[in-house]
A = this chain, B = another copy of it.
């Protein structure tokens, strides 16, 4: 099954204790689609400016990603600059130039209308809801959001959450959204807002998926996938989007949504997130093979597997 992602394509300036990189291809939709492309056919809806040229487009095409939904607008592409220090868990934003992204109104090409798996990357919640409503044949919708929308547009976000099946956020976001510091209780509160399942990403500790009672016809016990301790984290940018790409991409590739598939999806999410941080920007995600991915999947499996 193919999957459609709607989100940002950007140029990033990144500095971390391991070095720095200027004007490299980034954005949630970019990380997501590269990660998902190892599992299934990916379609992208985004907006870019005049500075997005054949060099950038080639990155998508080399992975068979359908870019007919990437709109060209007059002006510059979204630009973000960030610096990581210390434990690398959080970026200090140096600047955000929304540029053409400021007026982004997602347009769905006719050829995409039959897409059955949808991922709404982190954009304004009303735009997320609009896209979901336009896609009549979607079977499963994944969604991301962030502190900015949780605090700034809670009503709009609440409306969007009623339309999505799986929400993927991190611990801090889950606790903020639920206004609850205990994680399992926060998860239950978020699930009561709409989603069938909630994936909470714990960074280097992995991720947990919580289910609503009866979701997907499954038992509601949570499931956790570990992450691999990485010797050198060069650039954490895009780790969460790469996680989402691995998770949703594997899910879409299986067609059927059942508990075992969701468990494996969670492991593949962790695998793709762990690759993403090993190099600056999308460098590592651009140059993987499915064999490398499956070898790391096995390592993750062994990491917590009892005989």
Q: Measuring CB to CB, which residues of chain A are less than 8 angstroms from any residue of chain B?
A: 86-88, 181-185, 187, 202, 204-206, 208, 221-226, 229-233, 260, 263-264, 267, 299, 301-307
Contacts and interface: CB of A to CB of B under 8 A. Distances in A.
B86 A304 contact: no
Q: How many copies does the complex hold?
A: 2
A208 B224 contact: no
A229 B184 contact: yes
B301 A233 contact: no
A183 to B, nearest CB: 5
A305 B302 CA distance: 10
Contacts of A304: 223-226, 304-305
A224 B303 contact: yes
Contacts of A264: 306
9 contacts: A87-B181, A184-B231, A185-B231, A202-B205, A208-B229, A222-B229, A224-B226, A305-B305, A305-B306
A229 B220 CA distance: 14
A306 B303 CA distance: 12
A54 to B, nearest CB: 38
B181 A222 contact: no
Contact of A260 (B231, B299, B301, B307): B307
A254 to B, nearest CB: 14
A48 B271 CA distance: 51
A168 to B, nearest CB: 17
A182 B224 contact: no
Contact of A263 (B185, B222, B233, B306): B306
Contacts of A267: 306
Nearest to A229: B184
A226 B229 contact: no
Contacts of A302: 221
